[in-house]
């Protein structure tokens, strides 16, 4: 495989979605091959830093009685409980010291899959002059999907790096790609920006 040297421009950001221990093999809500994206993510993070472009990282950050947990009427096993080891970013994720952290999933009344769901992030990024958002992380068919759809809706040009994401289910992953494309997102199969 040729070396990937992404070229970022002013107005770009790189967004890492929910790359936390609980979503990787051995975690509470393990996604198959969830940890296989780390090499690709780190490559893109380094490229963003080299090109002077900000890195944002979201984290799922639930209260221990969260509504998305099956014990409390939701669809998922308990995961990413605030301040637990499982909620930490994967230790192999090389986040820069100045990465901006976006915390979500803290509400008691409903889940927030999208990084844009009542976080104020879209307004903030518009005010920073951000136009294009390059995305990797977990899970392709849940929080990555919701974030990409909302990002398109909010007027950003969204790009998914296919090698830097994995779905909860293969079927869901395929459908997610279709929805993202239909919303105007670009699915980057190679991993180069230009």
Residue 18 binds which entry of Zn ion, ligand VGL, none, CB below 5-8 Å type-dependent: ligand VGL
The least CB distance from residue 4 to Zn ion, in Å, is 30
Catalytic status, residue 24: no
Residue 48's Cα: distance from chain center in Å? 15
Q: Which of 12, 18, 60, 150 is catalytic?
A: 18
d(CA 53, CA 5): 14
Q: Which of 22, 60, 104, 111 is catalytic?
A: 104
Catalytic status, residue 18: yes
Pick between residue 168 and residue 193 the one whose CB is nearest to ligand VGL.
168
Question: How many residues are listed for the chain in this entry?
Answer: 194
Catalytic status, residue 143: yes
Closest by Cα among 131, 143, 103 to 119: 103
Task: Give the burial string for 94-117 (b: 16+ CB within 10 Å, else e).
Answer: bbeeebbebebbeeeeebbbbbbb
Binding string to Zn ion for residues 36 to 75, with x set by CB under 5 A, is what?
------------------------x---------------
Which active-site residues does the annotation give?
18, 104, 143
């Amino acid at each position: 495989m040729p070396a990937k040297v992404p070229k970022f421009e002013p107005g770009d950001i790189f967004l890492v979605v929910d790359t936390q221990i609980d979503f990787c093999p051995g975690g509470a809500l393990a996604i198959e091959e969830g940890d296989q994206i780390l090499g690709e993510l780190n490559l893109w993070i380094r490229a963003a830093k080299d090109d002077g472009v900000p890195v944002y990282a979201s984290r799922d950050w639930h209260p221990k009685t969260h509504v998305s947990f099956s014990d409390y009427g939701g669809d998922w096993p308990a995961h990413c409980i605030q301040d637990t080891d499982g909620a930490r970013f994967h230790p192999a994720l090389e986040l820069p010291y100045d990465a901006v952290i976006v915390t979500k999933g803290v509400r008691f009344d409903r889940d927030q899959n999208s990084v844009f769901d009542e976080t104020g992030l879209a307004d903030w990024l518009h005010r920073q002059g951000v136009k294009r958002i390059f995305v990797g992380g977990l899970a392709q068919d849940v929080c990555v999907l919701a974030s990409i759809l909302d990002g398109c809706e909010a007027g950003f040009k969204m790009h998914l790096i296919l090698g830097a994401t994995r779905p909860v289910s293969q079927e869901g992953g395929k459908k997610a790609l279709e929805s993202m494309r239909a919303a105007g997102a670009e699915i980057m199969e190679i991993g180069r920006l230009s």
